[in-house]
A = this chain, B = another copy of it.
């Protein structure tokens, strides 16, 4: 099974300053995980050409799939596509397809095409245009050797609608991910930890077990245990997760009795 790695890049000063909570990151992380990628890194960068292009270069060096969000709009500080262009060395070209979508959107609103709006029709050479069903800015999907780069807007409703449109194109075939979680009460994370360690070592990296303390470490403690596995088939991933979960449930029973 070919595990593919992916990196998510969130672009925008409003995220860095804490004005906006980065919900886009979680949404993209979930979609990529269930599309067969190991999301192993994320970058948050400011709206500068230098930072955007640095993040894209760094991400492509170590990932098969890079998704950016933010910086596709009409304002001066929307410069993601220029950053992509400079990072991968492909020129910005005029896209008739993007312009048609922009014209459709703005004419529907009875608005003329200003230079700021026309700007959104320029994309790095080789881009497939992703339609924006709920806003102006189109997204792009680029294939770079065996890798893929996707740029989506930062407005959550637009980003989510466009991510849905490209699910088939981004899926990593032959890699299935499954996770299940359960809660155990009356056990503390630090009591459970040695058992988790032992099973993880035994399974040699094929299974991942994560514990999250509930109610913190106080007099009514609890933990949420999440077991996840990747496999070539959905069935096999499920068998693995279920068998480990049964084992952990037995451990929990023993610890409480």
Contacts and interface: CB of A to CB of B under 8 A. Distances in A.
A126 interface: no
Contacts of A155: 213, 216
A172 interface: no
A16 B39 contact: yes
A188 interface: yes
Contact of A22 (B25, B51, B218): B25
A157 interface: yes
Contacts of A226: 14, 19
Nearest to A23: B21
Given A42-B16, A43-B43, A51-B40, A76 B197 contact: yes
A73 interface: yes
Interface stretch (A111-119, A232-240, A242-250): A111-119
Given A77-B210, A114-B191, A216-B155, A21 B16 contact: no
Given A21-B22, A42-B16, A51-B41, A216 B135 contact: yes
A257 interface: no
A144 interface: no
Interface in A145-194: 155, 157-158, 179, 188-191, 193-194
Chain A interface residue number, banded: 35 or more
A22 B19 contact: no
B45 A43 contact: no
Contacts of A197: 75-76
The residue in A21, A193, A196 that gathers the most chain B C-beta atoms within 10 A of its C-beta is A193
A136 B190 contact: yes
A44 B42 contact: yes
A76 to B, nearest CB: 4
Given A41-B45, A46-B41, A219-B109, A18 B22 contact: no
A62 to B, nearest CB: 10
Contacts of A31: 18
A134 interface: yes
A43 B76 CA distance: 25
Interface of A: 8, 10, 13-23, 25-31, 33, 39-46, 51, 73-77, 105, 109, 111, 114-117, 134-136, 155, 157-158, 179, 188-191, 193-194, 196-197, 200, 208, 210-213, 216-219, 226
5 contacts: A15-B29, A16-B33, A74-B193, A136-B217, A155-B216
Given A75-B190, A136-B190, 18 more contacts: A8-B16, A17-B33, A18-B25, A18-B29, A19-B226, A21-B23, A21-B25, A21-B26, A40-B46, A40-B51, A41-B45, A42-B44, A75-B193, A75-B196, A75-B211, A76-B200, A114-B194, A155-B216
